[in-house]
Amino acid sequence: MGHQTSLGTQTDFVKRGTLAHMSKLRAIIHVDMDAFYAAIEELDHPPWRGLPLVVGELGPRSVVSTASYAARRYGIRSAMPTLAAQRLCPQALFVPVRMSRYREVSAEVFGVFAEVSPEIEGLSLDEAFLDVTRSLRLFGGEVERIGRYLKQEIHQRTGLNASVGMAHNKLLAKLASELSKPDGFLRIQPDQVHAVLDPLPVGRLWTVGKVAEASLHRLGIHTVGELRFAEPRRLLQACGNQAALWQRLANGLDERPVDSAAEEKSVSAESTFVTDLTTLDQSLSWLAQLAERVGERLRAHGLQGRTVTVKLRKPPFETHTRQLSLPQPSDSTDVLLDAGRELLRRWWAAEKSPSLRLLGIGMSQFAPVPQSGLFAAPAEQGGRDQLADRINRKFGRGSLVRGVVLKSRKPGPEES
């Protein structure tokens, strides 16, 4: 007999949830590009193919953005300090991040997504969920046919491999792509859910992080199957309100929709410096460069924001943020930079011995971009921004910049 819960037996609870879920099955695809940044570098530099390649410059404060699969065999992983990666693999090739190039390829990939469904939830430049339920009829009712189309078209247009996972919900579709990497292609059918999930470590479940995993281990729960059959009341007492969610996930239940309408909540840019910035003049110069990048992104995405945020990190790792609300929404680089300068100067004046290992600026609290009238940017200001955007798109970022930015053009920072 199942364990008692407030809804009846555990078995009845799972059965009801499963039946309700099965009655509205969707066709969800998760696409994750394989070692995206590193794969682009290998594509652009053929002699690097097959080498242990690390995207991220060597330095005491630099971290690995992406590692090729050859580098991963040495234990190198994303977010690891690059110096630690070098110790693991002294012969590894370290190359700088080229974010503009990665965005360019990402746009091609997402263009392929749009050909099969308008319901796309981008998670990053190289990863997305697609709800293709309404597209099945166009592909003969087979989600695998859509998945193959995505893999083939992405490879044909970019030369890169994508791992494709398919299932009836987001949890399982993402697991399918992860389990089949690299160059993966896997569908988890509804009748395969427990066979796939039960042997997996509980840490593979969405929302079960390191702390939660340790809590479950203390209860003797190490696999998803053990979590699925755990006594709910004991689990609730030990793990709190998340316990019910974890058991639903352990049963393969996930009702989250693909959120194609998810709006960007902020646009920002930041740099970490190999050598700390120790003067206000240096810091203002770097702030101008970062503000130009944010302004360009705002206009490219048709966004205007009301809140400017400056991020400041003192050595060794003390982080501060300062915010300023604008009287009206703006996408102007000058407006963003003026607000950022004011925040930076205030912080600098209040510090006894100011120095910065990281500096960032961002815009948030977006409003619809007006067509004309009260909130429109002045013609001269808007025209200057648009001209700079066109020149930088045509000739490369940084072709046209404010004079103050030139003071910041020294090697060394890690940008994001």
Q: Which residues are known to be catalytic? A: 127
CA-based end-to-end distance of the chain: 55
Helix (H) or strand (E) holding 93: strand 93-95
Note the Cα 208 to chain centre separation in Å: 18
**Rounded distance between C-alpha atoms, residue 160 and residue 120, angstroms:** 20
Sheet holding 120-124, edge to edge: 120-124, 127-131, 28-33, 162-167, 185-187
Q: Specify whether the backbone of 306 is left (phi greater than 0), alpha (psi in -120 to 50) or beta.
A: alpha
Cβ atoms of 361 and 293 within 8 Å: the answer is no
* DSSP code per residue over 226-290: HHHTS-HHHHHHHHTTHHHHHHHHHTT---PPP-TTPPP-EEEEEEEEEEEE-SHHHHHHHHHHH
Across the strands, what pairs with 323?
309
Radius of gyration of the chain (CA): 25
Are 165 and 180 spatial neighbours (Cβ–Cβ below 8 Å)?
A: yes
The residue among 29, 260, 30, 269 whose CA lies nearest residue 126 is 30
Q: Give me 224's structure tokens.
A: 């998803």
Cα–Cα distance measured from residue 260 to residue 263, given in angstroms and rounded to the nearest whole number: 9
**Residue 145 CB-density burial (10 A; 0-12 exposed, 13-18 middle, 19+ buried):** middle
CA 7 to chain centre: 38
Three state DSSP letters for 290-350: HHHHHHHHHHHCCCEEEEEEEEEEECCCEEEEEEEEEEEEECCHHHHHHHHHHHHHHHHHH
125, two tokens: 């430049």
Q: Are 274 and 412 in contact (CB under 8 A)?
A: yes
Chain centroid to CA 77: how far?
A: 16
> CA separation (Å) from 206 to 3, 16, 173, 213, 224?
25, 22, 12, 11, 11
